[in-house]
Amino acid sequence: MKTIIEPFRIKSVEPLRRTTPEDRERLLDRAGYNLFLLDAEDILIDLLTDSGTSAMSTQQWAAMMRGDESYAGSPSFYRLKSAVQDLTGFRHVIPTHQGRAAERILFTVRCRPGHVVPNNTHFDTTRANLEFTGAEAVDLLPAEARDTQARLPFKGDMDVPALERLIAERGPAAIPMVIVTVTNNSGGGQPVSMANLEAVREVTARHSIPLYLDACRFAENAWFIKQREPGYAGWTPRQIAQKMFSLADGCTFSAKKDAFANIGGFLCTNDDVLAQQEKDLLILTEGFPTYGGLAGRDLEAIAVGLDEVLHADYLEYRIASTGYLGRHIADAGVPIVEPPGGHAIYIDAGRMLPHIPHAQFPAQSLGVELYRHAGIRTVEIGSVMFGEHAQNELLRLAIPRRVYTQSHIDYVVEAILEVNARKDGLKGYEITEQPAFLRHFSCRFRPV
């Protein structure tokens, strides 16, 4: 059979609350046209993020009941540690309350003013945490990958010659680590090839620079390698993931993505001295090293999720359903970041709405219109989020894991195509109030 179905059935459901167009007009006005300021109950389909929004499985809920809440030495921690070590091979597993806490601890211990840390593309919290230590965050994506329309199989790959140049210019001593983000979220959810990881590994090893994975979406990346990279078709997703981790010296991980957990993360390393420094800081800010700011039940949910996410039928469905949304809108003329990524589709609103100047936020306009038209929430990744540094005006539709069915996605496709049919009438927005930094979370707008 060629139909790819959701590889689960539904045991517990949550009702969706419908609003009328008049309600939504009023709610938008009240929220200053900022979708972050809407109440979740006023949203029909929420594609704001795939982070912490997964549906957990029966096995995860069952495991949560055996969560052991001991302050020190909980068996739930040892179950998590063994799941992480089996997957990654790393010696030290340090739990944290989410991904950015792992980043903060790693960077606080390793980074100083004068340091520079390259990444294929830093996620915004990663960049912010690095800059907070005084270090410089540099993105090394090849020029061809910046073209939203280029259909490259591994558009998340790091630019290895640029990495070599950076090391030659700044010297290895100024580079405390190199990070590769799999998949590359800010670059469109695009995968990184094993060959690229191996090439980066070769360079970092030659200069004795530690290589870290920002591994939030490691399983989705592994599936793309299996499908697209010669030599891996016969490998299991677990074998591919194990090889990816074996090339690195450590990782940061947000369990809110590919571990199907609603909260959690961890930091791994093979370096005993570094692990001790990290655990000392962990105790100061997150908690004892066998819980790291999480409840024992969270550790259990993550341990089970790390196994489930590597099931081939899940990954086949996951990547196919993201591609389904992408192809259905792109083939009908809506420009997206090509090819479809793993966890999200990014509409190129700058290209779709050329009559709205960047300074009037075309992706914000499209996001507001999708909510107004159909109750769908998305997130702007463009000039609202990055100001003058924005490379593109994108609207991200992130797909929560195991939450929405194909008919929900069909509804999203229909809504986007209806808005696309009258796109020339969409207007720009201007900002009326904004905070000093990370303005996208709380600024207010007015239609121009």
Binding positions for ligand F0G, rule: CB under 6 A: 49, 51, 98-100, 123, 125-126, 181, 185, 214, 216, 254, 256, 265
Q: Which is nearer to ligand F0G, 19 or 108 (CB)?
A: 108
Q: What are phi and psi of 204, to 5 degrees?
A: -65, -35
Minimum CB separation from ligand F0G for residue 126, in Å? Answer: 5
Minimum CB separation from ligand F0G for residue 185, in Å? Answer: 4
Q: Are strands 136-139 and 178-181 parallel, antiparallel or unpaired?
A: unpaired
User: Among all residues, whose Cβ is closest to ligand F0G?
Assistant: 99
Minimum CB separation from ligand F0G for residue 49, in Å? Answer: 3
Q: Which is nearer to ligand F0G, 103 or 229 (CB)?
A: 103
Please state, in angstroms and rounded to a whole number, the distance separating the CA atoms of residues 341 and 250: 25
Q: Which is nearer to ligand F0G, 51 or 74 (CB)?
A: 51
Intra-chain end-to-end CA distance of the chain, in Å: 51
Minimum CB separation from ligand F0G for residue 259, in Å? Answer: 10
Q: Which is nearer to ligand F0G, 232 or 253 (CB)?
A: 253
Minimum CB separation from ligand F0G for residue 397, in Å? Answer: 12
Minimum CB separation from ligand F0G for residue 340, in Å? Answer: 16
Minimum CB separation from ligand F0G for residue 99, in Å? Answer: 3
Q: Which is nearer to ligand F0G, 106 or 329 (CB)?
A: 106
Q: What are phi and psi of 119, to 5 degrees?
A: -150, 160
Handedness of CA 33, 34, 38, 42 (dihedral sign): positive
DSSP 8-class letter at 173:
G
Amino acid at 28: L
Alpha carbon 419 to its chain centroid, in Å, reads 26
- Token pair for 411: 């509804």
Please state, in angstroms and rounded to a whole number, the distance separating the CA atoms of residues 127 and 135: 9
Q: Which is nearer to ligand F0G, 254 or 420 (CB)?
A: 254
Cα–Cα distance list, 50 to 55, 91, 120, 381, 397 (Å): 11, 29, 20, 15, 9
Burial of 99 (0-12, 13-18, 19+ CB in 10 A): buried
For residue 324, what are the contacts with CB-CB under 8 A and spacing of at least 6? 406, 409
3-state helix, strand, coil in the chain (%, to 5): 45, 15, 40
Say whether the peptide bond before residue 378 is cis (omega within 30 degrees of 0).
no
Please state, in angstroms and rounded to a whole number, the distance separating the CA atoms of residues 268 and 87: 12
Q: Which is nearer to ligand F0G, 54 or 185 (CB)?
A: 185
Minimum CB separation from ligand F0G for residue 181, in Å? Answer: 5
> Helices (DSSP H) in 331-405: which residue ranges?
349-352, 362-374, 383-386
Amino acid at 331: D
DSSP 8-class letter at 71:
S
Rg (CA), the chain: 21
Minimum CB separation from ligand F0G for residue 240, in Å? Answer: 19
Minimum CB separation from ligand F0G for residue 98, in Å? Answer: 3
Please state, in angstroms and rounded to a whole number, the distance separating the CA atoms of residues 366 and 426: 8
Q: Which is nearer to ligand F0G, 51 or 383 (CB)?
A: 51
Q: Which is nearer to ligand F0G, 265 or 350 (CB)?
A: 265
Q: Which is nearer to ligand F0G, 19 or 391 (CB)?
A: 391
